[in-house]
Amino acid sequence: MAAVVGLGPLTLAAGEPEARPAVVHFSGLDWVVIAAYAGLMLLVGWHYSRKAKDAESFLFGDRKMKSSGIGISLFATLVSSIAYLSWPGEVIRHGPMMLANVGAYPIIMLVVGWLLIPRFMQLRVTSSYEVLELRFGLAARLLGAVFFIILRLLWMGMIVYTSVNLVLMPLLDFSPVLAPLLALLVIGVTTVYSSLGGLRAVVLTDVLQSLLMLAGLLATLWLVTQALGGVGAWWPREWSVSWDAPVFWFHADQRSMAAAILNGAVWWICTCASDQMAIQRYAATPDARSARQALAITLGADGVVSLVMLLVGFALFAYFSVHPELVAGVAEADQYFPVFISKGFPAGLGGLLIAAILSAAMSSLSSGLNSTVTVIKADFLDRFAARRASGEAQLRSMRMLSVVLALAVAAVSLAVPLVEGNLLEATNKFVGLWVGPLAVLFLLALLVPWATSFGAIAGAVASMLVSVGIAYGQLGGLGFFWILPVSAAVGVGGGMAASLLPIGPPPSALPLGR
């Protein structure tokens, strides 16, 4: 096939109604595949529920889990259904430049693996936000915990909205009034198996779900290759005129390779330095070496799947260049993948890919629920409780808290349509603006000896103001991919400077090596 050089407009003309993806005519086999997947997840939760005897085993798997499972679990947690849909859509609309973020892996491994992980493993905390209290006092701990809870509730709401409204509802042709019920069903299944089995169940299901995610992507590549007549038919031979112009160096409002590397490095470092979902997994391994191995496995899996998602983007780009009538009037490239599911998947495989998208969502939801429960328990319930409850009572309270959080996530998912932009941009504006302020607290606590409580809180507040300014106020004319790097830099720099002011108590050191 000739080189692919263009694809029709990806936005609707004014007043033109949006075309919906065609409905999947599911066979009995498709429904069997989906039901079998849901049943397997519940079975895993039931199996591990018999091994979760107390909070330590529920939240950390007794801190003896293997680095291979932990590494895949962290990968599956962070690569949600948002990435599953947004990455191919990003490639179709803007080109492959964002894949350059894999160039950040050596930096991430050096900073996180050798600088941050040893400190966390020495401290051995239940909630990562205990670190902030040890270093800066109670106010910083509570601020960090609140930032995390908001961040993960918004993130889980985004995942539910993406999976239900952009995939399941259009494909199955359900009435829009059923969207909240379908959202509750997805969250409910996830809540049951994660709240029954704790971290052990979450890790095992994450591994299974990662394999299913990869199988769905490979099936897509195979089907496009068969439809177009070979790999050469969809492999791009030149830069498409419909993609953004290739830019290597930094640009204020345009995607570039350097910005992708910077954004990737900063996001991974900030997430691994401050997010309970990551720190809880380090703590579930026996030692720093095992935690470092888990991180290497996470990055390796992320690199492989990112590459496959890039190839899926190329393949779908070529497929819809040949069949533009199939996406006539579709508003966003993020919807092209669901359109292909409806048009190109035979009986059984359609159910497989729906299950793959659900698995991407559920792996993230289960980890988010488990980690958020951990933070609420350790930073609020235990911290202010008059007396410590028994092991069984703690388990019951954590399971009940999981249900309450699930309902909150369903409510948050209703607000997602209010955020403008494609899926990748909306995620950064809705969720990503909390990552920098949270990470500022930890980076100052772990890496800046003279940082004070006043300086840390001032830096976090400054970081949040910058995040909001870039996301919604067009601060400096910067694009959404600058939200995290700039807010983190301003927060850390401002916190370091504010710590030099004679305000509040003097700095204290972390009790490393305790």
DSSP code, position 335 = G
Give residue-wise pLDDT tens across range 41-65: 777 666 666 555 545 444 444 455 6
Q: Which burial class, exposed, middle or buried, applies to 98 when counting CB atoms under 10 A from its CB (0-12, 13-18, 19+)? A: buried
Listing DSSP states for 278-320 in one string gives HHHHHHTSSSHHHHHHHHHHHHHHHHHHHHHHHHHHHHHHHHH
Give residue-wise pLDDT tens across range 247-275: 777 666 677 788 888 888 999 999 998 98
Report which of residues 208 and 216 the model is more confident about. Answer: 216
Mean pLDDT of 399-418: 84
Give residue-wise pLDDT tens across range 301-340: 899 988 999 999 999 999 988 888 888 777 777 778 878 8
Question: CA-to-CA distance for 476 and 463, rounded, in angstroms?
Answer: 15
Q: Which of 477, 465, 99 is nearest to 254 (CA)?
A: 477
Contact call for residues 112 and 275 (beta carbons, < 8 A): no
Question: CA-to-CA distance for 75 and 389, rounded, in angstroms?
Answer: 33
* In the predicted structure, residue 31 carries a pLDDT above the cut 50: yes
Q: Which of 481, 427, 345 is nearest to 85 (CA)?
A: 427
Please give the model's pTM, rounded to 2 decimal places.
0.81
Q: How would residue 197 be classed by pLDDT, with cut points 50, 70 and 90? A: low
DSSP reduced 3-state for 442: helix
Residues 6+ apart with CB under 8 A from 290: 66, 67, 70
Q: To the nearest whole percent, how much of the chain has pLDDT over 70?
A: 82
Residue 11: per-residue pLDDT: 32
Residue 467: per-residue pLDDT: 95
Residues 6+ apart with CB under 8 A from 380: 145
Question: CA-to-CA distance for 133 and 379, rounded, in angstroms?
Answer: 10
Report which of residues 192 and 75 the model is more confident about. Answer: 75
Residue 199: per-residue pLDDT: 60
Give how far Cα 429 sits from Cα of 81, 92, 108, 486, Å.
Answer: 17, 21, 23, 14
**Lowest-confidence region among 56-65, 204-213, 422-431, 478-487:** 56-65
- The token pair at 59 is 């939240």
Question: CA-to-CA distance for 343 and 320, rounded, in angstroms?
Answer: 11
Question: CA-to-CA distance for 435 and 484, rounded, in angstroms?
Answer: 7
- Alpha-carbon dihedral 169, 322, 306, 226, rounded to 10 degrees: 90
Mean pLDDT of 63-88: 76
Report which of residues 11 and 215 the model is more confident about. Answer: 215
Dihedral of alpha carbons 154, 160, 164, 167, sign: positive
Q: To the nearest whole percent, how much of the chain has pLDDT over 90?
A: 27
Contact call for residues 317 and 92 (beta carbons, < 8 A): yes
Question: CA-to-CA distance for 323 and 195, rounded, in angstroms?
Answer: 45
Amino acid identity at 382? D
Residue 5: per-residue pLDDT: 34
Question: CA-to-CA distance for 454 and 504, rounded, in angstroms?
Answer: 6
Q: Position of tokens 């018999």? A: 50
Mention the CATH class of domain 28-419. mainly alpha
Give residue-wise pLDDT tens across range 354-391: 777 777 777 778 778 878 888 888 888 877 766 665 55
Question: CA-to-CA distance for 492 and 469, rounded, in angstroms?
Answer: 17
260: number of CA atoms within 13 Å, CB side?
19
Residue 387: per-residue pLDDT: 64
Contact call for residues 391 and 54 (beta carbons, < 8 A): yes
- The token pair at 355 is 């299950």
Q: What are the residue ranges spanned by the domains of the chain? A: 28-419
Question: CA-to-CA distance for 84 and 402, rounded, in angstroms?
Answer: 25
Q: Which of 206, 202, 208, 199 is nearest to 62 (CA)?
A: 199
* In the predicted structure, residue 507 carries a pLDDT above the cut 80: yes
Dihedral of alpha carbons 228, 232, 237, 243, sign: positive
Q: Which of 172-176, 195-199, 464-468 has the highest mean pLDDT?
A: 464-468
- The overall average pLDDT reported for the chain is 80
Report which of residues 170 and 243 the model is more confident about. Answer: 243
Residue 221: per-residue pLDDT: 93
Q: How would residue 426 be classed by pLDDT, with cut points 50, 70 and 90? A: confident
Q: Which of 469, 414, 476, 410 is nearest to 436 (CA)?
A: 469
**Secondary element (H or E) of residue 363:** helix 349-376
Q: Which burial class, exposed, middle or buried, applies to 162 when counting CB atoms under 10 A from its CB (0-12, 13-18, 19+)? A: buried
Q: How would residue 107 be classed by pLDDT, with cut points 50, 70 and 90? A: very high
Dihedral of alpha carbons 144, 147, 149, 151, sign: negative
Q: Which of 56-60, 73-77, 491-495 has the highest mean pLDDT?
A: 491-495
Q: Position of tokens 């966003």? A: 332
Question: CA-to-CA distance for 39 and 439, rounded, in angstroms?
Answer: 38
Q: Which of 100, 92, 475, 429 is nearest to 252 (CA)?
A: 475
Q: How would residue 413 be classed by pLDDT, with cut points 50, 70 and 90? A: confident
User: What angle, rounded to 10 degrees, do the helices at 423-430 and 453-473 form?
Assistant: 150
- The token pair at 456 is 């840390």
User: What angle, rounded to 10 degrees, do the helices at 138-163 and 276-283 form?
Assistant: 100
3-class SS string, 124-175: CCCCCCHHHHHHHCHHHHHHHHHHHHHHHHHHHHHHHHHHHHHHHHHHHCCC
Phi-psi region of 95 (alpha: psi -120 to 50; beta: other; left: phi over 0): left
Mean pLDDT of 113-134: 87
